[in-house]
Amino acid sequence: MAGLVGDLLFIAKVDAGEIPLHIETLRISELIEGLCMEWEPEIFERERRFDYAISPGMLYRGDWERLRQMLSAMLDNAVKYAPQNGEIRLVANRSRKKQLQIVISNMGEPLAEDQLEKIFDRFYRVDPSRARETGGYGLGLCIARSIAAMHNGTITAESDGGINVFTVVLGALEDEVAN
């Protein structure tokens, strides 16, 4: 219940423009890799496979606490909806427009075209009957999209042949650091 209240409060503050960002230059490659390493045990315990590939040396100006919240919500969603022994993949790299791009994909039930936008709506669940089985309240992707927007970014969803792909594109990366 505390999680639900916290999520609702966060969304209300986002709507009111009351969430300040603490922008700083981040070694985003290292931070995302660290987050992936934190998620590995939970994903393994839930009997899913996890693979990630992160371009080294990327710098990004953003709020790591919020970006971490966004990526955790997206990984949580991928874990919930990937089947047992299904694969979850995260790729973080520089887009053609030199923006930070993070792609999280998972095996799972294909999403219909009309569901691809609705999944970002508050409380929307593709299959409400699975709510008890997967947990959560249908707020994670809504929160993730709000955080991306706070960073002048976007999140989109695609589904093809049992692979669901969520793509985050954020602002421009700074010059890379030497490894």
Domain boundaries, the chain: 24-174
| Stated pTM of the model | 0.83
Structural element, H or E, at residue 156: strand 154-160
Q: 49-54 and 87-94 as β-strands: parallel, antiparallel, unpaired? A: parallel
From the candidate CATH numbers 3.40.710.10, 3.30.565.10, 3.40.50.2300, 3.20.20.80, the one assigned to the domain spanning 24-174:
3.30.565.10
Instruction: Kindly state the helix (H) or strand (E) to which residue 76 belongs, with its residue range.
Output: helix 64-81
pLDDT in tens, the chain (179 residues): 555 556 556 666 666 666 778 899 999 999 999 999 999 999 999 999 999 999 999 999 999 999 999 999 999 999 999 999 999 999 999 998 999 999 999 998 888 787 777 776 655 455 544 444 455 556 778 889 989 998 999 999 999 888 999 999 998 888 766 55
